[in-house]
Structure 1
């Protein structure tokens, strides 16, 4: 993967960044061999109940990238631990 691919992936996922940031999370997109490593990281004031379940978010990310013409060897998604209530 080259830097252009990571840049394009970041552009495609930009619409997800705003809602995450408003809930106290950061979206990090990095190259990981032939695929991508995407991390959702909680800030100190993150809304624990505001994230969709990880499998749903993974599907959204994969579909968004594929719809934008990027089909990577794989996407690794790191997600914050969700507290059960």
Structure 2
């Protein structure tokens, strides 16, 4: 699909961008170049390539999952504006 000046002007209008008529020809050429590169990438044979979660083969160092802070719920629960069955009650924000 080729992008012409008319398509660029319509997209600019929808995006609420001010694009001069003198710029639309250059923009359409640049967009067509980008689409050409995307078409080139679509042609690449990636059948034997395994998907990656991250481009670098690194592992995430994780700390031990242990409690480091004392339990202060019994001390602060009486200070709460509302509580029920050992839990803090908060006002509903979504109806």
TM-score of Structure 1 vs Structure 2, range by shorter chain: under 0.3
- TM-score, length-scaled by structure 1: 0.27
Larger radius of gyration: 2
Q: Greater RCO between the two (CA within 8 Å, min separation 6)?
A: 1
More strand by share: 1
- TM-score, length-scaled by structure 2: 0.25
